[in-house]
Amino acid sequence: MQNLRALRQRIRSVQNTQKITKAMQMVAGAKLRRSQEELSVFRPYADRLEEMAQKFLAAYPHLQHPILKNDLTPFNPKGVSPLDPPKGSDPCAPAGLLILSSDTGLCGSYNERILAVADRSLGEMPSARVVTIGRKGTRRLARQGTARFREILDWGGKFDLDRVGSFVDWMQQLFVAGEVSSWTVVYTQFLSALSWKPASAKLFPMERPAAQEFPEKLIVEPAPEQLADLLLRRAVRARFSRILLEAFTAEHSARMVAMKNATENASEMIDSLTLIRNKARQAAITKELIEVVSGAQAALS
């Protein structure tokens, strides 16, 4: 009977765990739906803004701006004296690497796959200045002895447009000042509710498209030099905002799938333990019946 008691306790324990994983699956599913709606609304805006910026740069191939690739010419739309211009990006400076991971666990292989891509990037850029967003990636890099230039541990998977703007401005300042030669972001690309993959994207410098001649006349107000700064800044912010939304949505998807698998595994374990318990009960009952019959036969004889 002690064996039966242990089996019942184990079944109850697995059932309690199953309730927790089921609740976490539902919470992750609700967060996934909200985040997926935000991403589906933001994607067309980011795509259109990117298309507009590329078309604008193609129409003005000689336009100078410090965040454009192979462009070290200072650009200052506010009219600051050219005697003290911005330094511009320095190709000899270390690269910048931004790694987006989750703040919490229970999301399957989500962080492991991101960090595998980050390790490959660090192998290609051993002197890179590493910036981490997320506790899991930060702790993993700390354990392996990788130096971090900056750590952000309180984002919590919540999209904040104002915070995105200030963070992108900080990255741009480092790039324009020549402290980093480029910025690469390692994140997770969201494909569907059940599919995602780790990816990397170059944020700075922006690629300059090939020059084009458009049949229509492009009317630009204010002057192209003034519009460039506003348009390119917004395009970079939109690109990084989309990257964040992709990463946060993929995190909720990974957690929902992981909790769904855990719930199903708990169901299989409960069925298996129930079968073992029933067999043990049947064996115990059979043993008791044999003892009763044997005792009766002994009394009659």
Mean pLDDT, residues 22-40 taken together: 93
Per-residue model confidence (pLDDT) at position 87: 47
Mean pLDDT over each residue of the chain, to the nearest integer: 85
Q: Averaged over 202-211, what is the pLDDT? A: 84
**Mean pLDDT (whole number) for 52-56:** 86
Please, which pLDDT band fits residue 251 given cuts at 50, 70 and 90?
Answer: very high
In contact, 190 and 253? CB cutoff 8 Å:
yes
CA neighbours closer than 13 Å in the CB half-sphere of residue 16: 6
DSSP state of 206: B
Reported as a pLDDT band with limits 50, 70 and 90, residue 25 is: very high
Confidence class of residue 14 from pLDDT cuts 50, 70 and 90? Answer: very high
Q: 130-144 pLDDT, tens per residue?
A: 999 999 999 999 999
Q: Give the confidence band of 162 by pLDDT, cuts at 50, 70, 90.
A: confident
Mean pLDDT of 7-16: 91
pLDDT value of residue 157 = 78
Q: Which of 198-212, 236-250, 279-293 ranks highest by mean pLDDT?
A: 236-250
Answer yes or no: is pLDDT of 297 > 80. Answer: no
Residue % of the chain over a pLDDT of 90: 49
Q: CB of 34 within 8 A of CB of 245? A: no
**pLDDT at residue 216, rounded to an integer:** 64
- DSSP type of residue 211: P
What burial letters (b/e) apply to 123-147, b meaning 16+ CB within 10 Å? Answer: eebeebbbbbbbbbbbebbeeeebe
Structural domains present in the chain: 2-23+258-296 (1.10.287.80), 25-255 (3.40.1380.10)
Higher-pLDDT residue of 231 and 90 is: 231
Half-sphere CA count of 205, side-chain side, radius 13 A: 21
> Collapsing DSSP states into helix, strand and coil, what is residue 151?
strand
Two tokens, residue 9: 């306790």
Are 199 and 24 contacting, i.e. CB atoms less than 8 angstroms apart? no
Q: Which neighbouring-strand residues pair with 97? A: 130, 184
Residues 155, 159, 165, 171, Cα dihedral to 10°: 50
DSSP secondary structure string, 55-110?
Answer: HHHHH-TT---TTBTT------TT---TTS------TTSPPEEEEE--SS--STTH
Q: Supply the pLDDT for residue 89.
A: 52
Of the two residues 151 and 207, the one the predictor is more confident about is: 151
pLDDT of 118 higher than 50 = yes
Tokens of 22: 């089921």
Q: Please state whether the peptide bond connecting residue 205 to the residue before it is cis, i.e. omega within 30 degrees of 0.
A: yes
The CA distance from 285 to 127, in Å, is 71
Check residues 63 and 247 and name the one with the higher pLDDT: 247
Q: Is the pLDDT of residue 13 over 70?
A: yes
Half-sphere exposure of 121 (CA within 13 A, CB side): 27
Task: Specify the pLDDT at position 287.
Answer: 78
Residue 2 is predicted with a pLDDT of 54
